[in-house]
Amino acid sequence: MGAVLSLKNVDKKIGKAQIIQDVSFDVYPGEIFGFLGPNGAGKTTTIRMIVGLTKMTAGDITVNGHSIATDYKRAIEQIGTIVENPELYPYLTAEKNLIHFGRMSKNVTKKDINDRLKLVNLDYAKDQKVKTFSLGMKQRLGIAQAMLHRPKLLILDEPTNGLDPAGIREIRTFLRKVAKEENVAILISSHLLSEIEHICDRFAIIQEGNITQIESVSNESDLKQGVHSYYIETDNPTRAQKLIETTFPNLTITQQEQFIQLMLTKEEAGNIVTLLTSNDVVVYQVVLEKQSLEERFFEATSGGLV
Amino acid sequence: MFWSLIRNEWMKVFNRTSTYVMIGLLIVGVLITAIYTFYQQKDQQLPSEEEWRSELMQQNEEYLEQEKTTINRYIKSHAINQQAINEYRLEHNISPYDKENVWSYMESNTSLTQMIGVFVILIGASIVSLEFKQGTAKLLLVRSASRLQILFAKFATVILFGLFLLVILFMSSIIIGGSLFGFDASSTHISASNGEVFEWSRTLYVGVDYLSNSITVFMLSAFAFMISTMFRSDSIAIAISIMLLFIGTMATNILGLITDWARFSLFANTDLTVYFSGGPMVEDMTFSFSIVMLILYLSLFLTLAGVFFKKRDVSI
Ligand SMILES: Nc1ncnc2c1ncn2[C@@H]1O[C@H](COP(=O)(O)OP(=O)(O)OP(=O)(O)O)[C@@H](O)[C@H]1O
Ligand SMILES: [Mg+2]
């Protein structure tokens, strides 16, 4: 399937400063794409160019084949967005805000508005003015606003900014659902690695206006072949360590409180659990420590990122 | 689409408290002038025919003297016109004193259009810049409506709002003035320009007077709209426009004493009643000249607003 969003060699200069340089990436239907970079890297600027708030200096951006530069109306119709903060009309109620933006698109009915309010759990507050809203409520209303006209591409600039953990999880599940069920392409920017790790399928790293790499979040194939770090919790770590040392003399074992840590393949891990249980050591848990995105991130950027 | 955009703007204007404060102040303004006029005329005795005749004749002697001696063009034409009016009154036996009625009250009430002017300028100056201040421009502009459509829907809303306030002023003046002074409309209004006299029915004159006053309001709100769109700041736009609203005409009058070029000033052309009453600022100006100038100014304001609004990057 073709890309919904496609950036090709996009540049942005403001005065003499090169804010964005040669940025290219594609986002596909049903995919959540992360746009990761530290403060001031150029995430918001790139998003502004995608939605036409700022003109690019060079390059092209297309949405389902329609260029933002030359076919703006057709391109923008397919995008729903929040740029930077979810700023809505503070003196209008939640519902009126949606009525306002609904009127600006074709075929948004009263029912669509109510559905979207329910979807983001705000139907209880629909007659409340937005100035009385908490940041989390605004963020959710912003998302409802962005999804009002059933866009094919959803662009959210730091959507979990200001949300509590429950709110973050809620949005995460919600976005996954939207991507899967409505086959929407979603672009999310963030400066938090953990967030990208939890929500995205793929991500690009942007630093000082340059894309330094694009990759997938989970490399499940790694787990099948490679050796990984395992933590095993038992009722008697000292005895467990002795048992393992005698049976597998070439493994290095370190003991950390109730845990022993060792580098194993999947098969070896299985054998060790059998060994321990058959010798009456109670195994509480076996934890596989994935190398976190954060570590890969530091490797990739040689620690240059927060 | 355009209609939806106007409905949106209207909804936003009417969901703000300040709008209701404006409407309230306008009605209070009408109440105050009405009550003031009421107490002014309560114990007033209309002078007898002999009295006003001799008064007018004496006035005319003074005006004639003025006409001969003054070097100020405005004072001179004023003296000529007043003489013409007074002679017309003497000839047709129309007293300058008149029992107060709703129309004469409304004539004295036209200064309240200045208040409308201030309010419409406030709305015109903020309707674009507020979107940037609030950050909502980002959501407003990323839709299929073009920037120009959005801009002109906003301008149309400012004008509609001005008309709305005008209707409020008109209605409340008629209701309050009518119940205090009655609806007698038999008397007439007399004006003169270049020594030529015009006699108006009161109702017609009030209508023309209000409309003509609204032209200044209309042009200045277009001006405020342009400034705030160009600078994205309502305070600059409000300050300049309100200053012009109050001193623009006076300043142009002074300019008119120095040079004939004053005819190209906006304010030399906003008051179209001068062609029936008092005469234009520069002698050979005509009604159609003023209309053309107004159209040119309006196109200039709107074009500049459009160019700036369309071009600029939104980086809020
Ligand atoms: N209008 C402007 N004029 C000059 N420089 C600008 C302008 N807008 C942005 N910049 C610069 O461009 C760079 C990128 O800014 P941008 O807002 O895109 O960063 P960001 O990745 O969104 O950061 P954050 O995580 O803080 O939101 C910054 O160095 C900023 O100073
Ligand atoms: Mg940003």
Residues B20 and B123 in one domain: yes
| Ligand 2 ion: nearby residues, β-carbon < 5 Å | A 43-44
Residue A191 alpha carbon, nearest atom of ligand 1: 25
Residue contact A73–B4, C-beta within 8 A: no
Residues A95 and A234 in one domain: no
Instruction: Answer yes or no: is B316 within a domain.
Output: no
Mean pLDDT (chain A) is 86
CA distance B138 to A88: 10
Name the range with the highest mean pLDDT among A39-43, A216-220, A229-233, B252-256: A39-43
Among A267, A265, A252, residue whose Cα is nearest residue A226: A265
Closest Cα in chain A, distance from residue B265 (Å): 37
Residues with CB under 6 A from ligand 1: A 14, 17, 19, 37, 39-45, 191; B 315
Residue A19 alpha carbon, nearest atom of ligand 1: 12
CA distance B307 to B63: 52
Q: Domain count for chain B, please give it.
A: 2
Convert the pLDDT of each residue in A6-58 to its tens digit. Answer: 999 999 999 899 999 999 999 999 999 999 998 889 999 999 999 999 999 99
Residue contact A48–B313, C-beta within 8 A: yes
Instruction: Answer yes or no: is A46 within a domain.
Output: yes
What ipTM, to 2 d.p.? Answer: 0.83
- Collect all residues of chain A within an 8 Å Cβ-Cβ radius of residue B139: 81-83, 87-88, 101, 145
CB atoms within 10 A of CB A172: 18
Residue A84 alpha carbon, nearest atom of ligand 1: 27
CA distance B24 to A62: 51
Q: Is pTM, for the whole model, over 0.80?
A: yes
Instruction: Return the residue in B13, B20, B127, B144 with the most chain A beta carbons within 10 A, the one to mutate for interface testing.
Output: B144
Residue B44's pLDDT is what? 73
Residue contact B142–A52, C-beta within 8 A: yes
CA distance B199 to B94: 11
Convert the pLDDT of each residue in B70-111 to its tens digit. Answer: 888 788 888 888 888 888 888 888 888 877 788 888 888 888
The answer for B 211-240 residues in CB contact with A (under 8 A) is: none
Residue contact A104–B144, C-beta within 8 A: yes
Residues B116 and B211 in one domain: yes
Residue A60 touches chain B, beta carbons under 8 Å:
no
DSSP string computed for chain B = -HHHHHHHHHHHHTTSHHHHHHHHHHHHHHHHHHHHHHHHHHTPPPPPHHHHHHHHHHHHHHHHHHHHH---HHHHHHHHHHHHHHHHHHHHT--S-----HHHHHHHTTTHHHHHHHHHHHHHHHHHHHHHHHTTHHHHSSSSS-HHHHHHHHHHHHHHHHHHHHHHHHHHHHHHHHHHH-----SEEEEEETTEEEEEEHHHHHHHHHHHHHHHHHHHHHHHHHHHHHH--HHHHHHHHHHHHHHHHHHHHHHHHH-GGGGGSTHHHH-GGGGTTT--SSTT--HHHHHHHHHHHHHHHHHHHHHHHHHS----
Instruction: Answer yes or no: is A301 within a domain.
Output: no
Residues B286 and B299 in one domain: yes
Closest Cα in chain B, distance from residue A87 (Å): 6
Residue contact B144–A87, C-beta within 8 A: no
Percentage, residues of chain A above pLDDT 70: 91
Residues in a beta bridge with A18 = A13
Instruction: Answer yes or no: is B83 within a domain.
Output: yes
Percentage, residues of chain A above pLDDT 90: 47
Residues A207 and A228 in one domain: no
Residues A128 and A149 in one domain: yes
Helix (H) or strand (E) holding B7: helix B2-13
Return the number of CB contacts < 8 Å for A and B.
Answer: 77
Residue B237's pLDDT is what? 87
Question: Does the structure show a pLDDT above 50 at B163?
Answer: yes
Residues A225 and A202 in one domain: no
Question: Does the structure show a pLDDT above 70 at B132?
Answer: yes
Q: What is the pLDDT averaged over residues B58-79?
A: 85
CA distance A140 to A117: 9
User: Domain span at residue B70?
Assistant: 47-97
Bridge-based pairing state of the strands A202-207 and A32-36: parallel
Residue contact A104–B5, C-beta within 8 A: yes
State the burial class of residue A132 (Cβ atoms within 10 Å of its Cβ: 0-12, 13-18, 19+): exposed
Q: Domain count for chain A, please give it.
A: 2
